[in-house]
Amino acid sequence: AQSVTQPDIHITVSEGASLELRCNYSYGATPYLFWYVQSPGQGLQLLLKYFSGDTLVQGIKGFEAEFKRSQSSFNLRKPSVHWSDAAEYFCAVRLTGGFKTIFGAGTRLFVKA
């Protein structure tokens, strides 16, 4: 069955440090890939998406993600974290030709001063 794994339940990063959040998926073909962010008490906001083409995609708020087919991964990165980035981050996979999107369990990011 298709699945999305975010191995880190939570991560703590110092403000100004770099960030990488991991995401692996299990699916027979290349799916559509997304990263969302959820601030406390809010819905999910789309950070970036990958459909095809260049495997390094840029998103909002200075985030980027790299698709690696050989590793079935789609890791999210940011070179310098700001305190306002503290939130929960969800990786999601949408199966090609279908309606369904599968979400990972999320990674909560804490930012320390």
Q: Which is nearer to other proteins, 3 or 80 (CB)?
A: 3
From the list 12, 45, 55, 71, which residue makes contact with other proteins (rule: CB under 8 A)?
A: 45
The whole-angstrom separation of Cα 41 and Cα 70 is 36
Does position 103 bind other proteins by CB under 8 A? yes
Nearest to 6 by CA among 51, 36, 31, 43: 36
Residue 93 · residue 31 · CB < 8 Å: yes
Q: How far is the CB of 96 from other proteins (least distance, A)?
A: 7
Does position 43 bind other proteins by CB under 8 A? yes
Q: By CB neighbour count within 10 A (0-12 exposed, 13-18 middle, 19+ buried), where does 64 fall?
A: middle
Does position 1 bind other proteins by CB under 8 A? no
Which residues of the chain form contacts with other proteins (CB under 8 A)? 4, 9, 32, 34, 36, 41-46, 49, 51, 90, 94, 96, 99-101, 103-106
